Structure 1
Amino acid sequence: MAYRVPRHPRIEHHAKHQTRLARLTGLVLLWILVAIMALLAERTIPSQHAPWKALRVVDPVGMATRIKAARSGRDPKLCRAILAKAGLTYRDLPDKTEGDFCVVRDALRIESGMAPLIPADATMVCKEALALSIWERQVVQPAAYELLGQGVTGLEHYGAYSCRRMYGKPDGPVSEHALADAIDLAGFKLADGSRIMVATDWTDPGPKGQFLRRVRDGACKVFLTTLSPDYNAEHRDHFHLDMSGWNKCA
């Protein structure tokens, strides 16, 4: 007959109790460690790199800027609050539908708080205006002072809202311009009155070309879509900047 180990109920009960206690202690220690790590992350990770922290226009561009700008733009009230806190003023515009596919909701026009748009009547949804204001303050102006020795006093553009399909074709995908979620940036007016234009200065090997490439690269970290002369011939004279779709930088 096979040998059977004698059972000791009291010992078995004590062992089970010790096992449960060890598991509970391990779980508590794990949660304490998680809490400590979360506290350290909250205190040490800069806002621009932390997706869970609130978006602020005054923060430098970081790894989380584009994600937070897109997320904040989904909430019209939050988006406007961020603009207002940064000192930007704007005028709300009425919703409208034009033609078969042009729908504008949650649109506004920036009136002050950043280098003025030229022309001024640029209709944009709030998330596009928010991204533009971050880019102007945290990318364009620092690059201008570093590379050109002066600030930018105007952003020249070819338009924001435009009821059309992509590339103005009679059929095909609807352009983000038809939703007021894009702007075509043509150039920059400087404090001394001179201008830097994508059409003429993109290939300049000096400070003008360096500035244009710097601000294009910076736009890729703020907007969801950034298209430049490097993308195709249709963008030889402007940057297309929008807050729709997946990240695309060219």
Structure 2
Amino acid sequence: MAGYRVPRHPHVDHEVRHRSRLARYAALVILWLIVLLMAFIAGRKIADQHLPWKPLSVVDPVGLATRVKAARAGADPKVCRGIMSRAGVAYVDVPERTEGAFCQLRDAVRLEAGLARLEPVDAPMVCKEALALVIWERQVVQPAADELLGQHVASLQHYGSYACRRMYGQPDGPVSEHASADAIDIAGFKLADGQTISVASDWTDPGPRGQFLRRVRDGACRVFLTTLGPDYNAEHRDHFHLDMSGGSKCA
């Protein structure tokens, strides 16, 4: 039977293709219905801070989606400022400027009230960094201080936010996130009674002071995109580096 060809039936072939397309469309519709149903159930049963499609609120505890939502909200200057304003955070816009070959201040604010005082007070930050700092202070730092130290934190002591330099102050190499005011280095916490909890001296303390520092470091990892501290390297032995840029890193 050399050269035999199976007879074609155009009408039957068309019907098979038509039914195959209908089956694919039906499967796609069913899949979307399942997704929408799951989203509806999640929205009613799961807290907003765990759901990435829910609006970010500073009053919500830190959840699974907080870091993603903070980075997304912070990318829009109006949204970022609106969230802070609704939370009672006072800030002033910092004029844009460029310094050197790679340093710039753009979309930066200076926090003035609505969280523990910053020391020094001059700490310009891009809005997404400021927003993350507010969330961390309210939902991580203050609850940890109340629970472990029995009082609130009166001020956040830092080594700076904006600095026109490369990483580790080297003459060459990657540009630091500080060069765009997208980072802050937290060195310590002054308590209501005047005591100071220092990263440099209290990190290894086995008591409440060290427990507090580890609690707030771990909490920062759930808010900031990058959190680096004494466990990361010797350069961070005396502070927490917190920034909202680049990939996820917690150390």
TM-score by length of 1: 0.89
For 2:139, give the aligned amino acid. Answer: Q
- Per-residue CA deviation, residues 27-69 of structure 1 (Å, 9 max, x unaligned), is 7666554433222122112111100111111111111011111
Whole-Å Cα distance in 1 between the matches of residues 98 and 85 of structure 2? 27
Match of 1:56 in 2: 57
Matching of residues 123-202 of structure 1 within 5 Å: 123-202=124-203
Q: Tell me the amino acid that sits aligned with residue 224 of structure 2.
A: F
Instruction: Give the letter for the 2:54 counterpart.
Output: K
Match of 1:106 in 2: 107
What runs of 5+ residues in structure 2 fail to find an aligned partner? 1-11
Cα distance 1:207–1:100, how it changes in 2: closer, same or farther (>3 A)?
A: same
Identify the residue that residue 118 of structure 1 maps to in structure 2: 119
Distance 1:147 1:31 in 2: 47
Give deviations 1:130-156, integer Å, cap 9, x for gaps.
Answer: 000000000000000110011001000
Shift of 1:25: 7.6
Question: SS of 1:91's equivalent?
Answer: strand
**Distance across 2 between alignment mates of 1:28 and 1:215:** 45
Deviation at 1:98, TM superposition (A): 0.4
Task: Provide the rounded CA distance (Å) in 2 between the counterparts of 1:114 and 1:224.
Answer: 21
Q: Would the alpha carbon gap of residues 28 and 187 (structure 1) be closer, same or farther in structure 2, given more than 3 Å must change? A: closer
Distance across 2 between alignment mates of 1:169 and 1:25: 60
Matches within 5 A, 1:232-243: 232-243=233-244
The alignment partner of 1:199 has SS state of helix
> Could you tell me which residue of structure 1 aligns to residue 204 of structure 2?
203
AA aligned to 1:184 is: D
Q: 1:30 to 1:143 in 2, by over 3 A?
A: same
Letter aligned with residue 137 of structure 1:
R
- Is the partner of 1:153 in helix, strand or coil? strand
Q: Are residues 93 and 44 of structure 1, via their aligned partners in 2, closer, same or farther at CA, if it must alter by over 3 Å?
A: same
AA paired with 1:80? R
Matched, 1:69 2:57: no
Task: Tell me whether 42-51 or 133-142 shows the greater mean CA deviation.
Answer: 42-51
Stretches of structure 1 that go unaligned for 5 or more consecutive residues are 1-11
User: Per-residue displacement from partner, 1:202-238 (whole Å, max 9, x unpaired)?
Assistant: 0100000000000000000100110000011111110
The separation in 2 between residues aligned to 1:171 and 1:249, in whole angstroms, is: 25
TM-score relative to the length of structure 2: 0.88
How has the CA–CA distance of structure 1 residues 113 and 32 changed in structure 2, closer, same or farther, with 3 Å as cutoff? same
Q: Percent sequence identity over matched residues?
A: 70
| 1:222 pairs with 2:226 | no
- 156-165 vs 27-36, which deviates more? 27-36
Deviations 1:156-178 (A, max 9, x none): 00100001111111111110000
- Partner secondary structure for residue 161 of structure 1: coil
Q: Secondary structure at the match of 1:42?
A: helix
Measure the CA separation in 1 of the matches of 2:174 and 2:140. 31
Q: Distance in 2 between matches of 1:229 and 1:31?
A: 47
Q: Which residue of 1 aligns with 2:43?
A: 42
